[in-house]
Amino acid sequence: MPISDYIPSFFSFDKNTLPTVDPSVQSKRKESYSSRQLAKAGLIFAGTVGSFLVLKTTGSFALVSSLLKSKVESDSELAEDRVTRVDDKTLVPTHDGSIMPRVDSLDSSKLTDFKDRHLNDLEIIDKNEDGLDKSGVPQKTYAKRSSSDYDPKGTEFQVNTYITDDQWRPSVAGLSDGKFVVTWSSDWQDGSGYGIYGQIYNTDGSKYSSEFQVNTYTLSSQETPSVAGLSDGRFVVTWLSFGQDGSGCGVYGQMFNLNGSKYSSEFQVNTYITNDQQYPSVAGLSDGRFVVTWTSSGQDGNRHGIYGQMYNTDGTEYLSEFQVNTYTIHDQYCPSVAGLSDGKFVVTWMSFDQDGYWDGVYGQMYNANGSKFLSEFQVNTYTVGGQSHPSAASLSDGKFVVTWSSGGQDGDGYGIYGQIFNVDGTRYLSEFQVNTYTPSDQDYTSVTGLSDNKFVVTWQSNGQDGDGYGIYGQIFNVDGTKYLSEFQVNTYTISRQADSSVAGLSDGKFVVTWSSVQDESGYGTYGQLFGNVIPILNNNFLIINEDETVLITNSMLSATDVDDDNASLTFNISNVQNG
């Protein structure tokens, strides 16, 4: 008798557990079950949020989702339960013993009683329908629950401890051990204009040690930090510094150990120092090295150009400073650099009038040795109205994605658009729109790859939350399709929340930071952690013997996850054979 003829498991969930399994559930095959029989058998239980039973009866599955009851006392109570439609077949929790219609699979998108922010799979596999392989040996069968969950973890938090005047324009990066680090510009905290400060966080969002100053040189102002995690656990911060090299702005950097202590000394990134070198972007490379890019004024003979410098793992320069952009007419500025999984890296930037329509977004890929991989390429397909301020990120399968702001493309102000590229630099599918809400402006994007090969984009949106700018996000599948819906990041909505920066973390979560007029003393830096990833169970294998009861115990199929109140669940069932 195949495993599909047994009740495989019963799940219940409440505000503290998601889900658990009754450790004693077992049953022989029955033609039908009444709700009273199920209740008496302990197979139905109504938790504080809800419960459901997955039941196999003569080729049928029933989904019972209870109303908010403390317990089941009568058939009439169960008769009040909601009807759920699955693949256009109605599943009714019957109280008269009738047989429910056959359902071969459950499609989570059709489950109306549960939200879609917790995704779980229950998989029961039974080959050849009779539980035997071709030689008559009982097949191994397992049940497994997996998940991908991107709900907010905890509440919005303030990053900066020092709150006088402005602390804003943050940059955030994930570290190799699951921690993350946030950097920002702070006004007059070091006694002379802006300085760069940082805060490391544990994987659960609690602070790791205290806020620290990044820059050693403090005269005038140090602004616009960019931070990147390195493969060995360290991280590096870059920024622009006014007057430090004796000629306008220069780009400087500092490496840090995993515990937040400084590794070696502050260093100047740019070799060419005439005029301004500013707007740095830094990225770690797969072998532990890192690369910094920036905008340089007058160096290519025609206003602004993009330059870069690679570094060894010990912070020494790898080769010499190099020019990124091939097209040099007018301005090329505001670069974003991302390390790729195969050792390459890609630089993107905005270029004025190169495509004949104001700004456009361009890119250049590099080999691990610093040589150019192929030629400079245009990122955006739609060119009318100006496309600007790109952000680039590596994906876990070797591809990369670029997002940017586009003027007028969505019919109302600026919108956010993206393009995925293959490992060879060719386009993967077409340019796509990121934002769903289109009135007014959605601009200044940030993008990061996630460990499950999805990616998440954040941006600032004007007027969407009813009061100035707010921070919004959208998760995408690797093929560029939207995963779930556009979501608001910030909880506090008064006045302006802007300048978002997002980073994927090694354990599957991600974190978003932004500037907010919120602490009653100018701007402050705030953050929100997302993920709360539900644990994944190991495979548990059972030997199926014909005509014997199969017991799936709590230890085989249960896991506990602490969630906020009113947590909800969505699930799929597949590969179910007819009994």
pLDDT digit of tens for each residue in the chain (579 aa)? 222 222 223 333 333 332 333 333 322 222 233 333 333 333 332 222 223 333 322 232 333 333 222 233 333 333 323 323 233 333 333 333 333 332 333 333 333 332 332 323 333 333 333 433 333 333 333 222 333 457 888 899 999 999 999 999 999 999 999 999 999 999 999 999 999 999 999 999 999 999 999 999 999 999 999 999 999 999 999 999 999 999 999 999 999 999 999 999 999 999 999 999 999 999 999 999 999 999 999 999 999 999 999 999 999 999 999 999 999 999 999 999 999 999 999 999 999 999 998 999 999 999 999 999 999 999 999 999 999 999 999 999 999 999 999 999 999 999 999 999 999 999 999 999 999 999 999 999 999 999 888 999 999 999 999 999 999 999 999 889 999 899 999 999 999 999 999 999 999 999 999 999 999 899 999 999 998 544 444 444 444 444 555 454 444 444 444 444 444 444 444 444 443
Sequence-distant (6+) residues with CB within 8 A of 333 are: 279, 295, 304, 306, 349, 350
Enter the tokens of residue 305.
């150009």
Residue 175: helix, strand or coil by DSSP?
coil
Strand extents, DSSP E, 355-476: 359-366, 372-378, 387-394, 400-407, 414-421, 427-433, 442-449, 455-462, 469-476
- Give the span between the Cα atoms of 568 and 147, in whole angstroms: 13
DSSP-assigned beta bridge partners for residue 54: 9, 63
Enter the tokens of residue 531.
């993920």
According to DSSP, the β-strands at 570-574 and 118-124 are parallel
- Give the span between the Cα atoms of 42 and 33, in whole angstroms: 13
Burial class (CB in 10 A: 0-12, 13-18, 19+), 72: buried
- Give the span between the Cα atoms of 70 and 469, in whole angstroms: 44
Of 338, 343, 386, the closest CA to residue 361 belongs to 386
Which residue's structure tokens are 């060894």?
312
- Give the span between the Cα atoms of 178 and 181, in whole angstroms: 10
- Give the span between the Cα atoms of 527 and 205, in whole angstroms: 9
Evaluate the CA torsion angle 369, 506, 400, 410 in order and state its sign.
negative
Of 207, 202, 155, the closest CA to residue 564 belongs to 155
Other CB atoms within 10 Å distance of the CB of residue 407: 19
Q: Model-level pTM greater than 0.85?
A: no
Q: Say which DSSP state 355 is in.
A: S
Residue 38: helix, strand or coil by DSSP?
helix
- Give the span between the Cα atoms of 515 and 158, in whole angstroms: 10
Burial class (CB in 10 A: 0-12, 13-18, 19+), 109: exposed
Write the Ramachandran bin of 16: left for phi over 0, alpha for psi from -120 to 50, otherwise beta. Answer: alpha
HSE toward the beta carbon, residue 460, CA cutoff 13 A: 20
Residue-range domain boundaries for the chain:
3-139+544-574
φ/ψ of 77, rounded to 5, equals: -65, -45
> 63: part of which helix (H) or strand (E)?
strand 61-63
Which residue's structure tokens are 């006045």?
495
Please check whether residue 377 is in contact with residue 353, taking contact to mean a CB–CB distance below 8 angstroms. no
Please check whether residue 228 is in contact with residue 244, taking contact to mean a CB–CB distance below 8 angstroms. no
HSE toward the beta carbon, residue 97, CA cutoff 13 A: 3
Please check whether residue 306 is in contact with residue 292, taking contact to mean a CB–CB distance below 8 angstroms. no
- Give the span between the Cα atoms of 281 and 363, in whole angstroms: 14
Q: Give the largest Cα separation in the chain, rounded.
A: 88
φ/ψ of 375, rounded to 5, equals: -110, 165
Question: Nearest-5° angle of CA 473, CA 478, CA 480?
Answer: 65
Range 223-250 burial, b when 16+ CB lie within 10 A, else e: bbbbbbbbeeebbbbbbbbbebbeebbb
Residue 540: helix, strand or coil by DSSP?
coil
